[in-house]
Amino acid sequence: MEINKSYELPFPLETVYAAWVSSDTVIAPATSMDVLPEVGGHYRLIMEMPDFSGKNEGKFLLVEPNARVTYTWEWNNDGEVSTIDVRFKASADGTHIDLVHNGFTSDESVTNHDAGWDSYVEGFTKHLSETK
């Protein structure tokens, strides 16, 4: 099972890519990030709230600066290790992103992650707008 998404962001390719792989890009509900964007490097998203605590950990499988990243994704060591492949292309209006997230083990997980990506990209766009 997989999710296929495309997004258009009104920001330069280099800006979008750099923010996507930065530990400084913390999009709610995440409370911190730790990203080392190199093959074999890690991707950690932490959520620490009064009523919920969680983390995602993954490993970068492919890194092509300003073009593509592929990394694994697993929430709270739940055993569902999925893979995210993100391609970045300059467009007339900024940057086009094609995202494929696959390896899900349930329809519920697909549904949750599908909505999660839209929410993330909305927050990511807001973050980029505020840090211009």
Mean pLDDT across the chain:
96
Does some domain include residue 132?
Answer: no
Does some domain include residue 45?
Answer: yes
Tell me whether residue 106 is exposed, middle or buried, using C-beta atoms within 10 angstroms of its C-beta: 0 to 12, 13 to 18, 19 or more. exposed
Q: pTM higher than 0.85 for the full model?
A: yes
Residues 11-49 have pLDDT tens digits of 999 999 999 999 999 998 899 999 999 999 999 999 998
Residues 68-126 have pLDDT tens digits of 999 999 988 999 999 999 999 999 999 999 999 999 999 999 999 999 999 999 999 99
Residues 106-121 have pLDDT tens digits of 999 999 999 999 999 9
Does some domain include residue 6?
Answer: yes
Does some domain include residue 40?
Answer: yes
List the CATH number of the domain containing 45. 3.30.530.20
Q: How many CA atoms does the CB half-sphere of 1 hold within 13 Å?
A: 13
Does some domain include residue 128?
Answer: no
The number of folded domains in the chain is 1
Domain that holds residue 23: 2-122
Does some domain include residue 127?
Answer: no
